[in-house]
Structure 1
């Protein structure tokens, strides 16, 4: 073996070892490093009391994930005024008891929710390399999940269903108009229903001033643009997993939708036309059971403190 051949073999060996180590870290360590991200957003009417919003997304819950369930229960110590759940709560046919174990502690706290595709269909194996070719496609063999049971549970908590709907509630003294859509990734969204739903809300309740919040699972640009057009001042979304696998110093490699990479997670400003809204995209707390790893992208929930505008 020549010196050049030995050097090449050594380099390949180092790369293989590094890759295996990164895979092991992402599988056994980082995907369980649940993290709370915090931010402050000045969107409330002048003089309004602060509102603590707990944004939770993409649990992909399987029944054996008791560490995730316990961590979520621990978030009750934050005393949120409002829960926003942006979907993909299920990750297994038997995931609902795990969701209940995680969320029962929040019973009575005002909340809103929308569904993601994984709240309708069970996970299936997908070639990870296909994500580089665009948003993931749907298979015709996915198992149908008990979405009605999941929604009935959220309703029992007192949370409002925003799947192609609107709702109004008073949160810590501020009137909030919510509107949302069913999962855009599955093309279940009905954006054309939003104007009428909002008009009906405001005809029945003309109290003011108020805040308008838009909620969707997948932050496709056409959805975000429509939300801004319809007056959303802050938008909540999930779906992206923050890229799930990121490169330190570069960020997400893919987004699984058409949102720009720089807005794949966290708080940013979404502009459309002459208007804009704050956008919070959660990197989520879970992964598919067929792709159980994260790298440079810890699982997260977000506590947003909404404050009065200057």
Structure 2
């Protein structure tokens, strides 16, 4: 909370300074280009200097700098444009246009903060798989990444269950809070998992960046859901043998590789699915592809720009893969969920160009019709 207040204070200070100096420069007769350049310089220098305070509050955290930059962009820049628009008279048309563009950041910020993060969509895809005769439906509930279970998380769960999946996969980051809060907050997450298991007995989880194997096992104890810690579970479903291997993000790398090798080379007919938090788990099956890799982690970039796509995905897979959806990489179909939640902690609470999603993956006969 303190960081939020500080970021707003930085944005107001930087925006006011840039706006006031711009008015003075315009009255002194400087050209439009020089005024805009100087205003941008004041904004950048002021933001850089005052970001030191934000880092002192939170420690060295790249998300803190992103947070400061976002608030400056959606509060400070419009404030500067508003000041110039109100008090710089007369002003060139180019400056008026720049002011309009600056103020337009306000609705963008409102949308990215209060609308898109909660505008959940359904990402439904089909995948032809050998040995499948009757459709197998997989529900993906990735990256809830929440501090507490609220109406939004419960609604996302109910929406997923409404599609009657046969299997539900949770590829990590179920929660995001300090470990000492686990005992207090685990029951609400247990209730959520139990609700899923009531409808879909086959529920599998792996740990991610913000949760742990121990924490997930505490949450899922006696629910029937299973946390896979570099382990494989095999079962029969609709006449097909299904093997699901789960890789632990910060676990034993050698154990993860052995598990993936067993999963890919089990020598049995059926469906082989690798569940990992990061799509980078594709490295485990480069030499021995499986039928499907399911991952989350990237949030689709959480911000995606037109044409350019997501500037940041925190993954080594190609950006178009990390952006979300079903792709093929190294011979393995890979599904990357854009996730239900968003980055917490010191990060700005936003989504832009990447709506949150639940995933529905239909595995169908390779001889059938995906439509």
TM range (shorter): 0.7 to 0.9
> Could you list the per-position Cα deviations for residues 195-241 of structure 1 after superposition, in whole angstroms to 9, with x for gaps in the alignment?
368659998xx8x5211111110122xx3132242441110111000
How far apart are the structure 2 equivalents of 1:92 and 1:39?
32
Query: Secondary structure of 1:79's match?
Result: coil
Query: Secondary structure of 1:294's match?
Result: coil
Aligned to 1:52: 137
Structure having the higher Rg: 2
Matched, 1:266 2:325: yes
Matched, 1:29 2:115: yes
Q: Report 1 or 2 for greater relative contact order, CA contacts < 8 Å, sequence distance ≥ 6.
A: 1
CA contact (8 A) 2:263 2:290 kept: no
How far apart are the structure 1 equivalents of 2:263 and 2:285?
17
Matched, 1:118 2:210: yes
Matched, 1:172 2:238: yes
CA contact (8 A) 1:162 1:181 kept: yes
Aligned to 2:196: 106
Aligned to 2:338: 283
1:21–1:304 distance in 2 versus 1, CA, 3 Å = same
Matched, 1:252 2:344: no
Of residues 293, 296, 306 in structure 1, which corresponds to 2:350? 293
Query: Secondary structure of 1:69's match?
Result: helix
1:72 offset after TM fit, Å? 1.5
CA contact (8 A) 2:260 2:284 kept: no
Query: Secondary structure of 1:115's match?
Result: coil
1:249–1:97 distance in 2 versus 1, CA, 3 Å = farther
Matched, 1:70 2:147: no
Which is strand-richer, 1 or 2? 1
Note the residue ranges of structure 2 that are not aligned, 5 or more in a row: 1-26, 33-90
Q: Could you tell me the TM-score, scaled by structure 2's length? A: 0.66
Q: Could you tell me the TM-score, scaled by structure 1's length? A: 0.78
Query: Number of matched residues?
Result: 271
Alignment of 1:205-244 (within 5 A): 208-220=268-280, 223-244=281-302
CA contact (8 A) 1:212 1:231 kept: no
Which is helix-richer, 1 or 2? 2
1:56 offset after TM fit, Å? 1.2
